[in-house]
Chains A and B, each alone.
Chain A
Amino acid sequence: MDFSTLLIVLLGAPLVATLIMAILPSKYTSRSIYVFIHILAFLSVLVLGLYLAANVFLGNEIFALSNWLHIDALSAIFVALIAVIASATGLHAIGYIGGDAKAGKLDNAKVKLFYTLFSLFMFTMLLAVLSNNIVMTWISVEATTLSTVFLVGLYRDKLSLEAAWKYIIVCTVGVAFGLYSTVLVYSNAVNVLADPHEAAFWTSIIPHASQFDPQLMRIAFVFAVIGFGTKAGIFPMSTWLPDAHSEAPASVSALLSSVLLKCAVFVIIRYYSFVIPSTGDAFPQTILLVLGGLSIVVSAFTIYTQHDLKRKLAYHSVENIGIIVFCLGIGGSIGIMAALLHCVAHGFTKALLFCISGDLQHIYKTRDTAKITGILRIAPLTAVMFALGLFALSGLPPFAMFISETTMFFAGVDAGLIWLIVIVAIALTVVMAAIFQLAIKGIFNAPPEGTKKERPPITSLAAELALLAVVAGFIVALPGMGYNGFQSATYEALPDQALSEQSLAGQQSEQSLNGRQQTEQTLTNQQQDSALGKIFVLDNSNE
């Protein structure tokens, strides 16, 4: 089977699983049948997703369905993220949803709905990052909302329905802004490219980005940031996020926070690298610096005031999306690299913590942090993973987020944004203090009276251990193919204007290199010249 066919199979597997589960009547179908199809769906996504991503990192660029589907290094990063996290949270969901069904919170119809929509959610997220058609990209981002709204409101009680309403109304309105930006870009593309069919493809319009009308692209970018930024959870459009994340089943919260937000960030990165050649970098970068900085600072203080564990974690998502957006605002190859690293690092870390929060909710029958205490005595393995997850979230070494946050500081200092970096550093210190407070009280304080010692389901523990291994081993695994992948993705996300400037700088020494080789080489040169680049290249050479 060639790569194009595999790409279609990757996308088709969760869709076929969705359809099969939708057809099977819940009245006559055992829960284990849904679980079996669910496992097949996420395993196929895991295997095919990682295999295709690895091949893209090795230099292949894959198209399928007459160029409607496309995977380059940038989308490969997100495909790999979806593949791993959807599988881990899918595994976690088996025990979690089984527990809810046993407790009578979910009947068989809702269990069917959960597994059906989970597969549909995987399909829509994959489509969002694999679509080469800008209209299809928008449709798939919108479809992620539509496929998850009933997952957020799965329990059908007052609060979960309130959260579902806020989620759908805010995100749909937000993504309507995304539609407007899509319309503006496409409309301009129709006038730049002779063939209106080609005008809808990212791969066709990106090479002509500098010919687009600057004013129209400024409007389009603002609309894209508001639209897809709402979905990504950027402040102040993040109002839906704490409600949806806290009321959804924990496995869904994990998937929403770790992957869905990143899919929206992925679209923003596409717009970012696309509009800069026509608008210049000052306009989009200023917008992203302001929104990113505000997201970090506001959420840092809000985290302190939260007493609901999942809402606390949700505000951490706003803070970390802020970091990603802030890195894009810094710009340049190191800034973009930091943004991509943080997408992945935060994704794994937050998936781990949301899965654990689900276990704790089942054990303590509450999400109130004042009542979730003494975890070490009640569930020792969960306590250790919870502590390590929180340390990872605070950005301590040797965990994944340490490297991405350090890269952000290097990028900011490199770009001369010292004061902004100081403000962000203060906000992150506040976040770290809030995390330590949660860890110490939750793990070491005495447990509430009557709380029995309990072990979470084996599938949940297995998923959490796998995620913890990735979070802890990220720095060790990064050199080699991982680093090459991030480097190629950074190259894909780097706006043409910046590339051409770098190419000019490197032309004297690199006259013999052509096009892509030249820009990749100059990108490496630039990274070698910076302190961080020296670290990366050193790591790479050690490999």
Chain B
Amino acid sequence: MDYFMLVNLVSGFLILSALAVVLAPTPKASTYFYILQALLIVGLFIALGAATDSETLLKWSITSFVTKVVLVPAMFLFALKKLAAYKKPPAEGKTKPLLMIGLAAIEVLVCYVLVDGINLPMVAEVKLPLAISLAHFFIGLTCIITQRNIFKQVFGYCLMENGSHITLALLASTAPELVEIGVATDAIFAVLIMLAVASMIYKVNKTVDAHDLSELRG
């Protein structure tokens, strides 16, 4: 079996899972789609490890499982349960699914054109997944810009971080484990602190709607 084909296939599903995280009706539903996405990333690392004979990537799949499949969703579910914010979600804004899908398609296309201009031997076989990882990063950014629920904005950051992580795996599969652990651990702390601030805002301001956080202007 051609493992690179599998890598391409999984990366395609990654875009779909990212869109599901963004378009899910509640932060809790986003969390479950995020678990699905994290499992796909673990699968991608295993497939890529098999394609490149990289033991490092197999180790990365384990740390990714711990951090992305277990820790990050657990933190989200804990924060949401504690605040019960998910029971009465604020207005999500009017993110039209077709518009979001269209934006994602444009992002993939633009990223492919950018990646196509890179002339490095390591890029030759992974141009499509590389373009998708870059597009994944921008889908995360789009999520932050379009979503009003601050918990879903945190998911946008997670998607951006996943995009960077996949790029690192695609381009530097020989990177020392310490590099990958550093990146993953930092993301965990970032999510933890963002969730803590979001929870404080809910307690004090009684809202998780970003539009209600607009008193400081000018």
Contacts and interface: CB of A to CB of B under 8 A. Distances in A.
B118 A165 contact: no
B174 A196 contact: yes
A184 B161 CA distance: 14
B33 interface: no
Contact of B167 (A183, A199, A246): A183
Contact of B137 (A142, A180, A191): A180
Given A142-B190, A159-B216, A176-B164, A168 B172 contact: no
A213 B161 CA distance: 23
A173 B190 CA distance: 10
Contact of B183 (A135, A213, A243): A135
A313 B136 CA distance: 37
A136 interface: yes
A162 B216 contact: yes
A191 B122 contact: yes
Interface string A307-331: 0100100000000000000000000
Nearest to A147: B193
A156 B190 contact: no
A166 B216 contact: yes
A187 B172 contact: yes
Which of B114, B137, B141, B190 has the most A CB atoms < 10 Å from its CB?
B190
A477 interface: no
B194 interface: yes
Contacts of B164: 176, 179-180, 183
B215 interface: yes
A287 to B, nearest CB: 16
A278 B103 CA distance: 32
Main SS at interface, chain A: helix
Q: How large is the interface on B (under 10, 10 to 19, 20 to 34, 35 or more residues)?
A: 35 or more
A163 interface: yes
Contacts of A242: 216, 218
Residue picked from A143, A190, A305, most chain B C-beta under 10 Å: A190
A196 B176 contact: yes
Contact of A135 (B114, B163, B179, B189): B179
A184 B160 contact: no
A340 interface: no
A237 to B, nearest CB: 12
A183 B167 CA distance: 7
Contacts of A172: 157, 190, 194
Interface string A240-260: 001100110000000000000
A169 B204 CA distance: 18
A311 B150 CA distance: 25
Contacts of B197: 149, 153, 161, 164-165, 168
A142 B192 CA distance: 13
A161 B198 CA distance: 9
B167 A173 contact: no
A308 B218 CA distance: 10
Contact of B194 (A169, A184, A243): A169
A158 interface: yes
Interface in B168-205: 168, 170-172, 174-176, 179, 182-183, 186, 189-190, 193-194, 197-198, 200-201, 204-205
B120 A165 contact: no
Interface string A175-189: 010011001101110
Contacts of B193: 146, 149-150, 168
Given A146-B190, A146-B193, A149-B193, A165 B213 contact: yes
Contact of A180 (B118, B156, B163, B204): B163
Contact of B213 (A156, A166, A216): A166
B144 interface: yes
Given A172-B157, A183-B172, A186-B172, A305 B216 contact: no
B179 A161 contact: no
Nearest to A246: B216
Contacts of A219: 114
B216 A139 contact: no
B216 A247 contact: yes
Interface of A: 135-136, 139, 142-143, 145-146, 149-150, 153, 156-159, 161-166, 168-169, 172-173, 176, 179-180, 183-184, 186-188, 190-191, 196-197, 199-200, 213, 215-216, 219, 242-243, 246-247, 302, 305-306, 308, 311
Listed from nearest, the 5 A-B pairs whose CB atoms lie closest are A187-B171, A187-B172, A176-B160, A243-B216, A215-B117
Interface of B: 114, 117-122, 134, 137, 140-141, 144, 150, 153, 156-157, 160-161, 163-164, 167-168, 170-172, 174-176, 179, 182-183, 186, 189-190, 193-194, 197-198, 200-201, 204-205, 213-216, 218
10 contacts: A135-B183, A136-B182, A159-B216, A161-B201, A162-B215, A169-B153, A173-B144, A215-B118, A305-B218, A306-B218
Given A161-B201, A183-B164, A200-B176, 4 more contacts: A139-B186, A162-B205, A186-B179, A213-B118
